[in-house]
Amino acid sequence: MYKIAALLVLVSFGSFACYNTYYVDMDDLQQVQTAEKGTKVALPTHKEEKVVVDPATRLFVRDVNGKRYQITPYNFRIINQQLVASDRDYIFMMNQLKPKAEVELLSTWKTVGIIGLGAAAVTGLILATVLTAGRKSFQ
């Protein structure tokens, strides 16, 4: 029984891995603030790829101590060496933040894998219950 419980706990932690994280420069992030709200903006990443930011994209900045803060796309301003996200009541000095912002996009394959693994675990639990029905112990 402990093996099944451990597997279910492992699967539940896997839900944190459903996103791919890309890093963009703060200078490039300014393109999002100047874009018309709702339009998609393609930003270059640190790996020479392009990542598309839309209103549903998760954006984060980190301070120099490593604490992560989410900002809303199209609803922040970088002015006078400050990042201001008024909807979240954030005002950061730019020298207080790391030079790269984080863009998180939902990973279809990771999400499908997690759901499939969860379904397999539940199926295994049901099969184990059916096969051991009538026995006094489960090993």
pTM, rounded to two decimals: 0.70
pLDDT at residue 50 in the model:
92
Mean of the per-residue pLDDT values of the chain:
84
Helices (H), the chain: 2-14, 26-34, 108-131
pLDDT band at residue 98, thresholds of 50, 70 and 90?
very high
- In angstroms, the Cα distances linking 18 to 7, 68, 111 are 18, 18, 5
The Cα–Cα gap between 65 and 92 comes to 13
pLDDT at residue 119 in the model:
85
Q: Please give the span between the terminal C-alpha atoms of the chain, in angstroms, as a whole number.
A: 7
- Over the range 74-93, which residues count as b (16 or more CB within 10 Å of their CB) and which as e? bbbebeeeebbbeeeeeebe
Tens of pLDDT, residue by residue over 39-85, are: 899 999 988 889 999 888 899 999 999 999 999 998 899 988 999 99
The Cα–Cα gap between 120 and 10 comes to 13
More confident site: 17 or 27:
27
32 contacts: CB under 8 Å, gap ≥ 6: 41, 43, 53, 59, 73, 74, 76
Rounded to whole angstroms, the maximal C-alpha distance in the chain is: 73
Residue 108, SS3 per DSSP: helix
67 phi/psi in degrees, rounded to 5: -70, 135
